Chain A
Amino acid sequence: MNHLDQLEAQSIYILREAYNRIKPLSMLWSLGKDSNVMIWLARKAFYGRVPFPVILLDTGNELDEVYEFRDRYVKEWDLNYINAECPPYEETDPDLTYNARSAARKTLGLKRVIEEHDFRGIFLGIRRDEQAVRSKERVFSPRGESGEWDYKDQPPEFWEQYKTEFPPGTHVRIHPLLAWTEVDIWRYIQRENIPVVPLYFARNGMRYRSLGEKDITRPIESNASTIEEIIEELQTTRTPERAGRTMDHDSEDAFERLRAAGYM
């Protein structure tokens, strides 16, 4: 088994553990490259089906190509799709910065869709190498009643015995891609021929490296217009993946605060 085979087998194991132990379940589908890989892995784990709903936290403010992609693959992949509309900007905490309030819309949207469907488990495609705070995550990460992350007292997690037992009223976030890196994702997309939103590929010297809402996400300078070129670019770049996600950079602990409050 090579490195990608190992990652794939481990992620399938995680998906199957969650599917067996936790009900009801759902998966967040941001339509980014990572969550497409996650859906692909679910189809491998469950023999072509995604046996739980997939959710888009819809701010109404996603990039146009993202919506086109969604409309096509909901059908092609036969997904049980939930469009979770996020509450408007005005309902977020006014003490936060503009960027953080935009991000908080998704936190609120997620909280509502969990309450509405009483989900006990949510799959998210976050990775440890994306951001220092995420590198401290567990694969099965319990959340309190209001969705907050008690990052100072996380449960032990070893020997792949995951936390699948938790008190009523709480839920668990499951991270099947936690051990993957950005370049692993692209190599896997290449190997498996997984479709992605075309915005990742450079046009006129710019491409998106990470997809977010229109108003708080910026493309980067790049000439990488194929998967091969993206992989090559990632081998040498020294710029962090989320550099174009402005919400991370308001303060020293901006992202930590977002996540503690329940952000993905």
Chain B
Amino acid sequence: MQDSSSSLDMLRETFKIVVVGHVDHGKSTLIGRLLYDTDSLPTGKFEELKAICDRRGMALEWSFVLDAFQAERDQAVTIDTTQIWFKTPKRDVVIIDAPGHREFLKNMVSGAASADAALLVVDAEEGVREQTRRHGYLLHLLGVKQVAVVINKMDLVDHSEARYGEIVRDVTAYLHSIGVEPSFIVPISAREGDNIAKKSTSSPWYKGPTLLEALDRFHSVTVPSEQALRLPVQDVYHFDQRRIIAGRVEAGVIRPGDEILFSPSNKTARVKSLDVWDAPPLLEAHAGQSIGLTLEEQLFVERGEVISHVEDPPVLSTVFRARLFWLGHKPLEVGKRYTLKLATKTATVTVVGLETLIDTDTLAHRPGTKLERNMIGEVVLRAREVLAFDEHVELDKMGRFVLLEDYDVVGGGLISMEGYPDQRQSLTVKSTNVYSVEHTITRENRVVRNGHKGGVLWFTGLSGAGKSTLAMEVEKHLFQKGLQVYVLDGDNVRAGLNANLGFSPEERTENIRRVGEVAALFADAGFICITAFISPYQADRDRARSAASRIDSEAFHEIHVSADLNTCERRDPKGLYKKARAGEILDFTGVSAPYEAPASAELVVDTDAKDLASCVEQVVDYIDRTFRVD
């Protein structure tokens, strides 16, 4: 980010306005007229339009300025959202024309969500209609806070002040009931140009601003630097020796030296620097900036975690309530599973409650079992893993999400923790898992419930190579992500299962055999089982592989945790090398017994060359790739 106060032309702000309303109430016409009246049409555009209309044998149709698709012009209906630029005395304005037809609600939403303010167009003859209300409601949900109502086609009602008054009453009654206070209510005729760029002489009773004046009177939208820091991790780069955590500040301010918290993993660290390419590091970064930061210590973090200050963290929960608008062709139903995307986090959620359906026409709440396309409702969603977010009323960007079914976005929702589900509701949740007792639970059932396959990650390597340390870190990480994971190592295996075994070569082989069998059972139970044993002989490891392969031919993953013997001996965490060199331990792998490095390990993790965080990342990446089921 550079300071460009040198550019004078930067002083003009760009303001995005969306135009919404019921189909045929004249949204596109209004925009076309606005461009014409402000002299913003490109050379030749007017003539081109006229020619197109003449060819179709129709009167001049202003909406053709925006309806760029042939199909739109042929059917005289806006299908997808369009953007167009023009200047007012104060601002550079981007106008977004959003389709009014019910069928194209997803396109209306796409256009409206990014707007700073909205014009809600109402036909003076027809008055407030279904999509007028629905769009008004959606603007509110989408986060568009300033709305001006434009009452169009006043020429068709003889510029009647009484008719204007009626519609004002209807529309404000509705908007008030959803908590929206209209900024202006302007009577216009787009076709005749009344009250658009200049005051109409036909409605002398109207004392408010023209539409163009209204556009300049909307408040500028400010970026929320005053709020608590929220920086969702977007990616982690190691293009060079630096480990750079990349992301965009969604709220608040971050500075070098800040003590930060990663949620939901609950790790803390201190910010070392805010790095920029080809320029000195930043002294601070504000909401809206895409940045990269380095930490004082090496930490393994992943996309989806949320950075905050320690003292002001986001909410952590596996369950939350949401007001949801539905765009999917298939209805939302209780028990269905969707992919949730919230900031940079992706997670699987299950609908555990459909609390109420909201009729946007009457605002009535009613019970229902399905949320159909283009409907709005309140739902309770539960995730398998803990999610970090904020309530929408507290921090809008961290309190909203989309849901995906198959490959498509099917809905958008705002989070509330109001009436946080009680125990009764969570019990109801458990009973919705539909595994009938008469049927054998298959591996497929477990995979579906867990969201990942079971399998064995067989860590092998010299003593001191870092197998256990790595295994524990990976386990912690996977656990937090909601995966079923368990580590088998010398400590928990020798305590009971293998308590009768000593350290002779035969007993070691038996030790490894039993570990292989138990690991296979864990895999069958749906777990990702990590084993951390030196297991120096290929034959022993191959036997473990065949045990796991009885369950699934791809269940076994041999991971060589590799480090140079000298490194291991220098580390010597348990003082074993020293004892072996002194002859106190016989047959010690690497010193007095051979280590057969795997010839074809699925993964090699070099703990010599990389720090722990990078090694954990490598293994977790591998697991993500091979075990995840979407």
Supposing A47-B275, A161-B341, A231-B9 touch, asked if A8 and B409 sit within 8 A by C-beta, the answer is no
A44: chain B residues at CB < 8 Å are: 276-278
Task: Tell me if A136 counts as interface (CB < 8 A to partner B).
Answer: yes
Q: Is the CB of B409 within 8 A of A156?
A: yes
Q: Is the CB of A3 within 8 A of B71?
A: no
B83: chain A residues at CB < 8 Å are: 128-129, 135
* CB contact list, A219-264 vs B, under 8 A: 231, 238-240, 252-253, 256
Q: Is the CB of A1 within 8 A of B286?
A: yes
Residue among B14, B114, B142, B237 making CB contact with A47, cutoff 8 Å: B237
Supposing A155-B409, A159-B412 touch, asked if A133 and B69 sit within 8 A by C-beta, the answer is yes
Supposing A154-B80, A156-B107 touch, asked if A191 and B2 sit within 8 A by C-beta, the answer is yes
Supposing A16-B235, A156-B109 touch, asked if A238 and B43 sit within 8 A by C-beta, the answer is yes
* CB contact list, B393-427 vs A, under 8 A: 397, 400-402, 404, 407-409, 412
* CB contact list, A125-167 vs B, under 8 A: 128-129, 131-133, 135-136, 138, 151-152, 154-159, 161, 163, 165-167
Could you tell me the distance between the alpha carbons of A46 and B84 in the complex, rounded to whole angstroms?
31
Task: Tell me if B59 counts as interface (CB < 8 A to partner A).
Answer: no
Supposing A159-B113, A238-B43 touch, asked if A13 and B234 sit within 8 A by C-beta, the answer is yes
Q: Is the CB of A47 within 8 A of B244?
A: yes
A154: chain B residues at CB < 8 Å are: 80, 107, 110
Could you tell me the distance between the alpha carbons of A6 and B248 in the complex, rounded to whole angstroms?
11
Task: Tell me if A20 counts as interface (CB < 8 A to partner B).
Answer: yes
Contact with A along B270-282 (1 / 0, CB 8 A): 0000011110000
Residue among A10, A135, A163 making CB contact with B68, cutoff 8 Å: A135
Could you tell me the distance between the alpha carbons of A62 and B70 in the complex, rounded to whole angstroms?
31
Could you tell me the distance between the alpha carbons of A112 and B70 in the complex, rounded to whole angstroms?
28
* CB contact list, B91-115 vs A, under 8 A: 106-107, 109-110, 112-114
Describe B's contact surface by its main secondary structure: mixed
**Distance to closest chain B CB from A157 (angstroms):** 5
Could you tell me the distance between the alpha carbons of A163 and B9 in the complex, rounded to whole angstroms?
34
Supposing A3-B14, A152-B79, A154-B80 touch, asked if A46 and B110 sit within 8 A by C-beta, the answer is no
* CB contact list, A174-228 vs B, under 8 A: 181, 187, 190-192
Could you tell me the distance between the alpha carbons of A136 and B67 in the complex, rounded to whole angstroms?
10
A24: chain B residues at CB < 8 Å are: none
B178: chain A residues at CB < 8 Å are: none
Could you tell me the distance between the alpha carbons of A231 and B402 in the complex, rounded to whole angstroms?
39
A191: chain B residues at CB < 8 Å are: 2, 4, 7
Specify which of A129, A131, A161, A191 lies most central, judged by the most chain B CB atoms within 10 Å of its CB.
A161
Task: Tell me if B66 counts as interface (CB < 8 A to partner A).
Answer: yes
Q: Is the CB of B69 within 8 A of A2?
A: no
Nearest residue, chain B, Cβ from A181: B85
Q: Is the CB of A161 within 8 A of B4?
A: no
Task: Tell me if A19 counts as interface (CB < 8 A to partner B).
Answer: yes
Nearest residue, chain B, Cβ from A154: B80
Q: Is the CB of A1 within 8 A of B288?
A: yes
* CB contact list, B298-319 vs A, under 8 A: 303
Residue among A16, A187, A253 making CB contact with B234, cutoff 8 Å: A16
B42: chain A residues at CB < 8 Å are: 238-240
Task: Tell me if A45 counts as interface (CB < 8 A to partner B).
Answer: yes
Could you tell me the distance between the alpha carbons of A8 and B292 in the complex, rounded to whole angstroms?
14
B409: chain A residues at CB < 8 Å are: 155-157, 161, 163
Q: Is the CB of A156 within 8 A of B327?
A: yes
Task: Tell me if B131 counts as interface (CB < 8 A to partner A).
Answer: no
Supposing A3-B10, A128-B83, A135-B82 touch, asked if A9 and B4 sit within 8 A by C-beta, the answer is no
Task: Tell me if B81 counts as interface (CB < 8 A to partner A).
Answer: yes
Residue among B85, B107, B248 making CB contact with A9, cutoff 8 Å: B248
**Distance to closest chain A CB from B548 (angstroms):** 29
B110: chain A residues at CB < 8 Å are: 138, 154, 156-158
B106: chain A residues at CB < 8 Å are: 155-156
Q: Is the CB of B407 within 8 A of A167?
A: yes
Task: Tell me if B37 counts as interface (CB < 8 A to partner A).
Answer: no
B397: chain A residues at CB < 8 Å are: 159
Task: Tell me if A43 counts as interface (CB < 8 A to partner B).
Answer: yes
**Distance to closest chain B CB from A183 (angstroms):** 8
Task: Tell me if B266 counts as interface (CB < 8 A to partner A).
Answer: no
Task: Tell me if A115 counts as interface (CB < 8 A to partner B).
Answer: no
Task: Tell me if A78 counts as interface (CB < 8 A to partner B).
Answer: no
Q: Is the CB of A16 within 8 A of B82?
A: no
Q: Is the CB of B114 within 8 A of A158?
A: yes
B130: chain A residues at CB < 8 Å are: none
Task: Tell me if A49 counts as interface (CB < 8 A to partner B).
Answer: yes
Nearest residue, chain B, Cβ from A6: B288
A238: chain B residues at CB < 8 Å are: 41-43
**Distance to closest chain A CB from B449 (angstroms):** 22
* CB contact list, A15-45 vs B, under 8 A: 16-17, 19-20, 43-45
Could you tell me the distance between the alpha carbons of A256 and B79 in the complex, rounded to whole angstroms?
14
**Distance to closest chain B CB from A252 (angstroms):** 6
Could you tell me the distance between the alpha carbons of A96 and B158 in the complex, rounded to whole angstroms?
50
Task: Tell me if B13 counts as interface (CB < 8 A to partner A).
Answer: yes
Supposing A135-B68, A135-B84 touch, asked if A8 and B277 sit within 8 A by C-beta, the answer is no
Residue among B13, B41, B235, B412 making CB contact with A19, cutoff 8 Å: B235
**Distance to closest chain A CB from B488 (angstroms):** 33
**Distance to closest chain B CB from A61 (angstroms):** 27
Give A contacts to B, CB under 8 Å.
1-6, 8-10, 12-13, 16-17, 19-20, 43-49, 51, 128-129, 131-133, 135-136, 138, 151-152, 154-159, 161, 163, 165-167, 181, 187, 190-192, 231, 238-240, 252-253, 256
Counting from the closest, the 6 A-B pairs by CB-CB distance are A132-B68, A158-B113, A156-B106, A12-B290, A238-B43, A253-B70
Can you name 21 A-B residue pairings with CB atoms under 8 Å? A1-B286, A4-B7, A9-B288, A12-B290, A17-B234, A47-B237, A47-B240, A129-B83, A132-B68, A135-B83, A136-B69, A156-B107, A156-B327, A158-B402, A159-B113, A159-B412, A161-B409, A163-B407, A163-B409, A166-B407, A191-B7
A47-B237, A47-B277, A191-B4 known, 17 other contacts, Cβ within 8 Å: A2-B7, A10-B290, A13-B234, A46-B237, A47-B292, A51-B239, A132-B68, A135-B82, A152-B71, A152-B80, A159-B400, A161-B341, A165-B404, A191-B7, A238-B43, A240-B42, A240-B43
